[in-house]
Amino acid sequence: MTQIAIISNAKKLSGRLTNFWTGSPAYHIGFVDTDTNLFYDQNLLFRKRLWPHYPTENVKMYECPVEVTGADLEYELATSEDWYGVADYIAFAWRKILPGTRVSFKGVICSEKVEQILQRKGWVTPFSAVPSPADFEKVLIPTTLPT
């Protein structure tokens, strides 16, 4: 089973910066394959890590809105050529100036990667702009399943 993990920490620099740009300290998002205890996320490149990877108090788990399997994530890992978009992250400033604009450069941030994978699996995105992890918190259903 795959769930979505959103990482939030108001004390961490990335949490403070994200809070400044988005109004929320939720600074990271990725997929957790609970069958294998692996976390898949966009960092410098798309990667996988052992789960749990972050302190439990900083993690909120959500149901995937469409079925995403471990095999789907392994395929993404084997084929993704995306690299992290520092300019894309900074583009969140544009959202304050021009709300609703979908400014995107050639890089991919973590929440954009999650959106892309969900869309490839049939999800219709509700976002008009590149989403932040906080945007996902507003539309996903918190999980009551074990993490």
Single out the residue of 110, 30, 27, 112 nearest to residue 64, CA to CA. Answer: 30
For 106-128, what is each residue's pLDDT tens digit?
789 999 999 999 999 999 999 98
Q: Where are the domains of the chain?
A: 2-139
Which residue from 111, 1, 9, 127 is spatially nearest to 58, judged by alpha carbons? 9
The reported pLDDT for the residue numbered 106 is: 77
Beta-strand relationship, 38-42 and 26-33: antiparallel
Going residue by residue through the chain, which has 147 residues, state the pLDDT in tens, using 9 for 90 and above. Answer: 999 999 999 999 989 988 888 889 999 999 999 999 999 999 989 999 999 999 999 999 999 999 999 999 999 999 999 988 777 777 766 666 666 666 667 789 999 999 999 999 999 999 987 888 999 999 999 997 554
Q: Which uninterrupted H or E stretch holds 128?
A: none
Identify which of 121, 123, 116, 117 has the alpha carbon closest to the alpha carbon of residue 139: 123
pLDDT at 101: 63
d(CA 110, CA 96): 20
Answer left, alpha or beta for residue 16, where phi above 0 means left and psi between -120 and 50 means alpha: alpha
- Cα(111)–Cα(130) distance, integer angstroms: 8
Do residues 9 and 60 lie in contact, with contact meaning Cβ atoms separated by under 8 Å?
Answer: no
pTM, two decimals, is 0.88
Which of 45, 9, 46 has the alpha carbon at shortest distance from 134?
9
